[in-house]
Structure 1
Amino acid sequence: MPSHSMAPSAYRRRIDRPPHGRRRTARWRRTAFASALVTLIAGSALWAFGTATAHPETVSLLPDDAVPAVLTDPDSRPVELGLRFRTSEPVEAVALQVYLGPNNHGPHQATLWSGRGRPLARVQLGGAAGDGLRAVSLERPVRLEPGRSYVVSYTAPGGHYSTDEHFFDRSISNGPLSAGANAGVYSYRPGEFPRSTYRATNYQVDVVVRPAGPGEEPTTSPTQSDGAPPSSAPPSQSPGPSTSVSPSAPASSSTAPSTSPSSPTGAPTTSSPAPTSAPPAGGFPTRASAGLPDGWQPKRSVTGTYTISTPGAVVEDLRVTNGTINVTAKNVTLRRVQAVGSVIANYASATCATGLVIEDSEIVRGTAPTTDDAWPAVTSGGYTARNVLIDGVPEGFRAQGRSACGGVAIHDSYVRVVSPDVCTDWHGDGIQGYGGGALTVRKTVIDFVDTNNCGGTAPFFYPDQDNTSVDIDGLIVSGGGYPFRLGTPGTVRNLYVVDRSWVFGPLDVRCNLVTQWQAATATLNSAGQPVVVRNLPCTT
């Protein structure tokens, strides 16, 4: 489970060398990289912004010769570190640059994003730890427009990045570029769009731009409106993955690192048979059919934490409100249990209560506002869910702790995750694996609902982040950037992606790892069953 471990720069008290004198004055300057990009006009040519010149100078936001106050942060977790900025005039981004301290080992990938998290350009930085300021030109210039927010970020796969806390206590500017307070952003999901902030920290990543003439066409064509930038308010808790959980207090659920949406190479080792229009025998569950039986009433109601410590216990007809169903014994069965504003957890003090079975039960939101630091509805591993309804909460099933817990099986269940009421850095999922064991899914539906443009990750998310494998036969997914994201080996059959429910595309899959593939886009009929629109090969 996520822990309360600190955000980037949270515990950086060790200083590798004395802090430099920060130069935060707004001034025009050329970047150290400029000489590799342009030919200087004779004499001491100045930036002529908006003026047509054969060799315009370049500019970036941060000083090229500044030395970070902390060269090596002790944080060793993989992390995405970035800078949110704007431009007051049309410019072209021509390079990205990062300060690489002595222990910031690569490979490093840098990304230029729109303000809403759409990748505009990506480059590999190259170089080695200790190189200092490292700049790499983009393959093609990217036009940036005034009045819009952008983010430049890079991945530090082994942490140990360089920082300056409180650098962005106030806004700064240089030429057309500016950054507001709390402009430094991060995410513990390497390769994904960073949104969180901490102590106005500067993570030493920057963009290099040159003037763009009025009326020029962008070199990349946006596919969606970028709108307003994400909120810069810090999350209420600092993200950070962990393999243990203390069910007595909620922890952040926005921590699991993830791979970025990408276009995997390769193809399935077997050909893709055409899916049938008929769902698996018995059909898929719906919101009305899943979970507790009609007319159910609890025999016992509890408010707060309810702990089950007897091995082999069978707990039936229980309602728990605003708490945690804390399973600490093995081979427990929860039958006809309702968790209202509550979660089910079987992993505490580094011990996993394996053999947990949850059946004919439901986990639903309570009356309190939901937040993006909510726990998953069910966690952590070594459990089987049959006919379970999860509805209205920001996080669904979590599979993790594979060495202590083992695999997870989800059968005949219905999940509707909904963006939180209080949203700063939501990374919600219907099913997510982070260090998860073998995952089995049968006849399950996941609906991903983002009601307030909060973001989230995906209905199904089992990437290459120490997960084992998947065996999927019967899964409907709807919503999210990519409704189905898979980066582990396994088999996928009877996968239905609700047609046009996605933001970026239907799939984000490492197809070369999938040994069997059968999928389609589909609509849902009045009975909630899929009707195939078109075959969906694993080629993205």
Structure 2
Amino acid sequence: MAVIGFVAAAFGVVTQSFAGTAGAAEQAVSLWSDADVPGTVDVDDAQPVELGTRFRADRGGDVTGVRFYKSAANTGPHTGSLWEEDGTLLATVTFGGETASGWQNATFAAPVTIAADRFYVVSYHTTAGHYSADNNGFAQARDAGPLHAPASTPERPNGLYRYGSGGFPTSTWAATNYWVDVTFVPSAVTTPSASPSPSVSPPPTGGAFPDAGNTGVPDGVQLTPYTGSCSFRTDNQVIDGKIVDCADILVYARNVTFRNSVLNRAVMTNAADASVSVVDSEVRAGATTWAGVGGSNLTVLRSEITGGQHSVRCDGNCLVQDSYLHDQFNDPDSAFGYHNNAFLTNGGSGMVVRHNTLWCSPPDNAIGGGCTADLALFGDFAPVENVTVEDNYLHATPGGFCGSFGYNPGKAFGDNPTGVVVRGNVFGRGANGRCGGVGPTTSFLGTGAGNEWAANTWDDGGAVDPQ
């Protein structure tokens, strides 16, 4: 583990203002200024290591380079990198012309455009160790104008490291700030147009299936931070046009609605009569075994759900429509291999999954983890009853099947799924021509009361029959 045996320095939330003029060129900003100095400049650790900071920006713009604070013994060489939150490398640069110590700067060969309110990681690699670091530096968030480095949590840690020759840093220790920074030029401020009313906002038209371009927060919505309680206990509460950064988002009340918002945590109903709607929003559940949206009494409309072990997990009474469910989380370093699905129920009734793009995308890993299906109906804890799956696109998946439809006699309640209607869905063939690793479908009981299979096709034509 990185950084032990040095003085802990707790940082509060620090805010800097950077004024911008509409239409004017913006100046580069960073999380720390040149006057900021670590509490511990040199950690006596000579191992090669990659060190990083997780961050987001309120506005889109260009990341132009990487900064880090250098001790005199941290002789390098040094390389800087920018990553997507999933570990995709966006850019790298070698530092040159360094001073003996203090802040060092390197500029990418070309700026990297990033989106507003999405998390990224900036990092640098040192072959000599002797990095700067402060325990508990990310016990609270660091906010500097349009840039934000979130407080470290188990589900979204900050203050990241990886020993060795380099690569995406994912380990963390004591919410440590390793003093890695970014240079960012925000886009010019524009006056947002009026937000469309979700009640009249049309679903995707022309037969197109949902994707990142026609789900989520509508264009023109101006987002502001949500500052209320993360335990939602007021019936009929509406959260509109907000960025919700909570350790957990737990709904105890009836008819709570998140609209035109970005939710940077998983959402769960946490009482028998609780209900939640996620409308024209983006749920970025991140690295958690929670579902992106989970529980009973769920409504998801025109929204994009990423992260979480499953995108949506329904225990009963759910409507998921016109939404894009993809990029679930599976930890390859966990002690066991767990399974992913875009939509999952372990038993229940009263579910409608209509006109979505369902894509379970994590690859299989060496410990048995990976996708089960895009959509999985399992009678583990209750019978599967009255489930309608229609007009969806089931994307080719590395899992065994694209759809599993409830008939699993080996499960406690899996021998008699009823009212399972599967119609008008399109199955992507994928590279192997089968949609899933084994085939497109499994576990549909044609003789079950009220069960129906109709007009399900391949994306290149031809009928898909239940297996």
TM-score, length of structure 1 as denominator length: 0.41
TM-score, length of structure 2 as denominator length: 0.48
